[in-house]
Structures are given as C-alpha cells and as structure tokens.
Amino acid sequence: MKLKSGSISSKDLIFAVFCFMQATVLRSGYIVAVTRHDSWAMAVTGFLFAVPMVAIYAALFRKFPGKNLIEIDDVVFGSIMGKIVSVSYLFFFLSLAALNIGDL
C-alpha cells in the first residue's frame, strides 16, 4: 500500500476490507469453540462469503470513481438515508474491530 497525500487507492481499500473481513472470521472465538478441528472449513466459508462483498465494493468504486463509500451512500440512497446507511456501516466495522481487539 503506497500512501500519498493522505489517501489510499480503491484497490488498496478493497484489499484492506477483504483482509479485515477474513480476519474477523478467523478471530471469532466462538467458531473455534464449536468447530474445533474443522476451523479451516469456517475460514474457507468466510472467504467464500467475503468474495461477493469485495466484488460489490469493487463495482461501486468503479462506477463512482474518486468518491469514498460515504459519498457513494449519499448518491445512491439520498442525503438522509445515505447518512443512516453510512453510520450503520461505520458502527458495524467499529464493533467488529472492537471484538477483534477483544479476542486478541
């Protein structure tokens, strides 16, 4: 990832989102407790579920070049609903980050 002028490219963002989603699956403590020796299957399943999400993000960033996800939400959903979707989206990722840190 090359950081220039305080921003990252859309490819780097997609890669970061993919890594975050995959790490969330791998770090979930309850999955290991339930699956025990079959935890590899959960990692593969998480990968399979993450690929369509990354494809959706990639398509959005190609359709709206130069915009971040919050700006895209405002365009797609409108001003008020776009803000609600953006806050929900940020809450989701912040809560997953908190859970991942707690697992560590």
DSSP string, 42-89: HHHHHHHHHHHHHHHHHHHHHHSTT--HHHHHHHHH-HHHHHHHHHHH
Predicted pLDDT at 55: 87
| Residues 51, 72, 20, 27, CA torsion sign | negative
Residue 3, helix vs strand vs coil: coil
Please, which residues have CB within 8 angstroms of residue 3's CB and are 6 or more apart in sequence? none
> What's residue 1's pLDDT?
47
Candidates 77, 78, 72; CA nearest to 60 is 72
User: Has residue 60 got a pLDDT over 80?
Assistant: yes
Q: What is the mean pLDDT of residues 62-81?
A: 89
